[in-house]
Structure 1
Amino acid sequence: METPNPRHAAELSEGAKALGIELEAEQQRLLLAYLALLIKWNKAYNLTAVRDPDEMVSRHLLDSLSVVPHVAEGGTRWLDVGSGGGMPGVPLAILFPDRDFTLLDSNGKKTRFLTQVKLELGLRNLQVVHDRVEHYRPAQAFDGITSRAFSALADFTGWTRHLGDGETRWLAMKGVHPDDELQALPADFRLERCHVLQVPGCQGQRHLLILRRIS
């Protein structure tokens, strides 16, 4: 495994502390190893629009970690929809080794990358599924479903409705507050909470919307 960039290591450690997260040494090592894989594979696979490795700590790792307190509130089975390069699913799997995370994406190149991440980092609590979300039929509902800039809220909830139930929390990570998208939310979903996320090193607004399905 490659030697971590000292600047990236310092930014990750300091940024996590600013978010109120004390990373264990192994968590720090795994997050930086994941970052190294992301940088390496991104050159050929176009996993993320962020091309500058120096921007990836804040815009990918710390942005993913910003939802840790809300994932910590409960739920052992999580689904990351449209996971792409693995955000926030991979960092969350590293932070919560006692919970199960399924990363779903319809792009074969991206799921191949995620499978490599799982193998190289030894993340036994991470499952990778190559499928369209509307076709995916797991045996039971998930406790939590996350998305990061995946789609409009109406599509996110509509496409994943069958993957949750009345106990499931849908966590949608957004930039600016999506007023228009909330107006178009399906009738059987409600906004439970909205949090402004302060991500160290990130410019622009970040919001987390927590949604529930109405029984």
Structure 2
Amino acid sequence: MSEHNLPPAVADTLQRGLADMGLAAELAPPLLRYLALLHRWNQTYNLTAVRDPQEMVTRHLLDSLAMQPHVADGTLADLGTGPGLPGIPLAIACPGLQVTLVESNGKKARFMREAVRQLQLGNARVAESRAEALDEPGQYDQITARAMDTLEGIVRVGGHLLRPGGVLLAMKGIHPHEEIAALPAGWRVRDVVPLQVPGLSGERHLVTITGP
């Protein structure tokens, strides 16, 4: 399936969303190719509970890209990425970012390998592994997890991957006061930034945490 097999309204929604977020219109074609592939595979392999392509634009693509201004060039491990969210949209939008897509589910890992191949994403690789079992300690400038766990849980399973001075970028809904209070000793919140996602109701925050 190519992007041309998606309803025309899907491309319109994405292009409006990119414009609202100040992102380049040139990102739309590869994002639509990724979305078309995800939609096709999802009909067989149930990779995401979101099945409507229009809803996927908002809840997957634009939601993932909302954190793009806060991501720096370098290395990033996306933990429990599922079908590649937010890692693949970030790899598309940030060519200076080297993304490792960490996912233990075999069918999701297979999908991502195919997406990376078809999109020719030279700055993305798939690690079919649980985050805590990934034997790459201190190799990443940044780690992220969009819907994986509590902040404490993310640190517990993925904190070993961060280099000294690296940061955890965690996508959350409402301001996670209780999760912040439960962070392990030595882990500190640098900032909590509200994010605006076009078409998405409810709160979104990006929590930036530095390691010990």
Structure-2-length-normalised TM-score: 0.95
Which segment is superposed worse, 166-175 or 29-38?
A: 166-175
Cα distance in 2 between the residues matched to 1:164 and 1:140: 5
Partner of 1:16: 18
Which segment is superposed worse, 48-57 or 87-96?
A: 48-57
Cα distance in 2 between the residues matched to 1:211 and 1:171: 7
1:66-215 equivalence runs, <5 A: 66-71=66-71, 74-138=72-136, 140-214=138-212
Cα distance in 2 between the residues matched to 1:6 and 1:147: 31
RMSD (Å) for aligned C-alpha atoms: 1.3
Which segment is superposed worse, 159-168 or 107-116?
A: 159-168
Partner of 1:57: 57
**Runs of at least 4 residues off by over 4 Å:** none
Q: CA deviation at 1:139?
A: 6.4
Runs (5+) with no aligned partner, structure 2: none
Structure-1-length-normalised TM-score: 0.93
Letter in 2 for 1:47: L
Q: CA deviation at 1:99?
A: 2.1
> Secondary structure of the equivalent of 2:15?
helix
Cα distance, 1:170–1:209 mapped onto 2, change above 3 Å: same
Runs (5+) with no aligned partner, structure 1: none
Number of corresponding residues: 210
